[in-house]
Amino acid sequence: MPATARKPDASRRSERSRRAILDAALDQVGETGYEKLTIEGIAARAGVGKQTIYRWWPSKAAVLLDAFTAVSEDAAQGQHELPDTGDLEADLKEVLRATVDELNRDVYDRPARALAAAAVTDPALAEEFNRRVLGPQLDLYVERFTAARAAGHIADDVDVRVATDLLVGPLAHRWLLRTLPMDHAYADRVVELALRGIAA
Amino acid sequence: MPATARKPDASRRSERSRRAILDAALDQVGETGYEKLTIEGIAARAGVGKQTIYRWWPSKAAVLLDAFTAVSEDAAQGQHELPDTGDLEADLKEVLRATVDELNRDVYDRPARALAAAAVTDPALAEEFNRRVLGPQLDLYVERFTAARAAGHIADDVDVRVATDLLVGPLAHRWLLRTLPMDHAYADRVVELALRGIAA
């Protein structure tokens, strides 16, 4: 039955094109920055026609946000919550060390910087970035802290969203504005000081 | 003695031009972003010749960093250290509330965002920005925490540079990436949680 036999092939080709487009968007934005990112540039790099991109995405922002969502999902390896071994300090150190490693990887650093810089100056892009990429990441901390509060591991009066900022803010500040280098020891110090502040 | 009479006039004119150029640089970068900021644009806006700018500054980055240094100095109103009333919590709340107010002011927000976005993607500009503008601001916290540690108000083992990140990181993250709005209550919560973590 050639009709059904063709369908999986077409679907595989579509998926290959989709991944090629997302990879091309990440590579391109890392090289040129967000402002100079174009659908034409992404299409040329991915070896597809512009119309193929416009069939699936309405704008370069939409392509890039899908590309980052894919990167985040690859990094999460199917895990959609933070580790919860019952040892909050150990769990958060594991997560923040992994975050430091990710921020220090060149393949992540350049496109992530280009996107973050665009969000700094473009409120509409920032809103989408928060809704699609950053918000869901921060929610994982909020959920972990909420569980820790229910288990009596952090104080009852702690605002779990502010506690989240206390953990991710220092790393983001150091990374975005390049104030100082970051390593695992830094991640550990941030967790230790922040946890002393919110401990039960 | 016309020679000495002319000199103060020339000096006043120079100072007027210098301020006009710095103001024009801030206005211009707020409108166009750093990438599209040009010496020509600054000169036209300030009503001076390009050569006047090049006589004093080698590049647009140099103009902009001087402009920001001037803004910071105006905001500091001659105070080159954080308040030290002996009540660390009250002092830090005052400083962080003022920071929130500054970040929420339109006149500061747009040029500051343009400069921060440029620092995110341009390592050389980031280095100058840290050396000239951000580093000296962070040093004020380090000095205040060092005094508090000497006075026994925070724990002996606290790394005062990490403690600084714990205070400024959450505000910077929320402001730069626009995750959520910021107000005085937020500044207070950050200070309270961070101080619980570093208290003696």
Residue that terminates a domain, selected from A69, A89, A124? A69
Q: Does B123 touch chain A (CB under 8 A)?
A: yes
Q: How far apart are the CA of A180 and the nearest CA of chain B, in angstroms?
A: 9
Contact A172 B174 (CB under 8 A): no
Residues of B in contact with A119 (CB under 8 A): 176-178
Contact A121 B33 (CB under 8 A): yes
Q: Quick one: average pLDDT of B139-160?
A: 92
Residue that terminates a domain, selected from A47, A69, A91? A69
Residues of B in contact with A189 (CB under 8 A): 159, 162
Residues of B in contact with A178 (CB under 8 A): 119, 123, 126-127, 130
> Each residue of A143-170: pLDDT tens digit?
999 999 999 999 888 999 999 999 999 9
Distance CA B125, CA B117 (A): 10
Q: Which of A18-27, A73-82, A83-92, A188-197 has the lowest mean pLDDT?
A: A73-82
For chain B, state the CA radius of gyration: 20
Number of structural domains, chain B?
Answer: 2
Q: Say if residue A47 is in the same domain as residue A85.
A: no
Contact A129 B177 (CB under 8 A): yes
Q: Quick one: average pLDDT of B3-16?
A: 71
Percent of chain B surpassing pLDDT 70: 92
Q: Say if residue B147 is in the same domain as residue B186.
A: yes
Q: CA dist B61 to B15, B42, B64, B68, B160, Å?
A: 20, 12, 5, 10, 30
Q: What pLDDT shows up at residue B175?
A: 96
| Domain assignment present for B73 | no
Q: What pLDDT shows up at residue B8?
A: 67
Q: Which residue among B126, B172, B193 places its CB closest to the CB of A158? A: B193
Q: Does B197 touch chain A (CB under 8 A)?
A: yes
Interface test with A, best of B89, B189, B193, B196 (most A CBs within 10 A): B193
Q: What pLDDT shows up at residue B70?
A: 84
Question: Which residues constitute the domain of residue A45?
Answer: 1-69
Q: Quick one: average pLDDT of A168-194?
A: 96
Residue A200 has pLDDT above 80, yes or no: no
The overall average pLDDT reported for chain A is 89
Q: Say if residue A108 is in the same domain as residue A85.
A: yes
Q: Which helix H or strand E contains B19, and what residues bound it?
A: helix B2-32
| Domain assignment present for A196 | yes
Q: What pLDDT shows up at residue A1?
A: 44
Residues of A in contact with B179 (CB under 8 A): 130, 134-135, 138, 165
Q: Say if residue A107 is in the same domain as residue A191.
A: yes
CATH assignment of the domain containing A159: 1.10.357.10
Interface test with A, best of B113, B132, B166 (most A CBs within 10 A): B166
Residue B63 has pLDDT above 70, yes or no: yes
Distance CA B120, CA A116 (A): 8
Q: Quick one: average pLDDT of B51-78?
A: 85
Distance CA A130, CA A160 (A): 18
Q: Which residue among B117, B159, B179 places its CB closest to the CB of A138? A: B179
Distance CA A175, CA A187 (A): 12
Contact A174 B165 (CB under 8 A): yes
Q: Which residue among B117, B121, B197 places its CB closest to the CB of A194? A: B197
Q: Say if residue B87 is in the same domain as residue B179.
A: yes
Q: Say if residue B44 is in the same domain as residue B89.
A: no
Q: Say if residue A199 is in the same domain as residue A107.
A: yes
**Residues B139/B153, Cβ–Cβ less than 8 Å:** no
Q: Does B189 touch chain A (CB under 8 A)?
A: yes
Q: Say if residue A83 is in the same domain as residue A172.
A: yes
Q: Say if residue A65 is in the same domain as residue A93.
A: no
| Domain assignment present for B65 | no
Neighbouring-strand partners of residue B126: none
Distance CA A110, CA A154 (A): 36
| Domain assignment present for A74 | no
3-state secondary structure of B200: coil
Q: Say if residue A55 is in the same domain as residue A94.
A: no
Q: Does B181 touch chain A (CB under 8 A)?
A: no
**3-state DSSP helix/strand/coil percent for chain B, to nearest 5?**
80, 0, 20
Contact A190 B158 (CB under 8 A): no
CATH assignment of the domain containing B50: 1.10.10.60
Q: Say if residue A91 is in the same domain as residue A187.
A: yes
Residue that terminates a domain, selected from B14, B30, B60? B60
| Domain assignment present for A46 | yes
Q: Say if residue B101 is in the same domain as residue B174.
A: yes
Q: Quick one: average pLDDT of B71-76?
A: 74
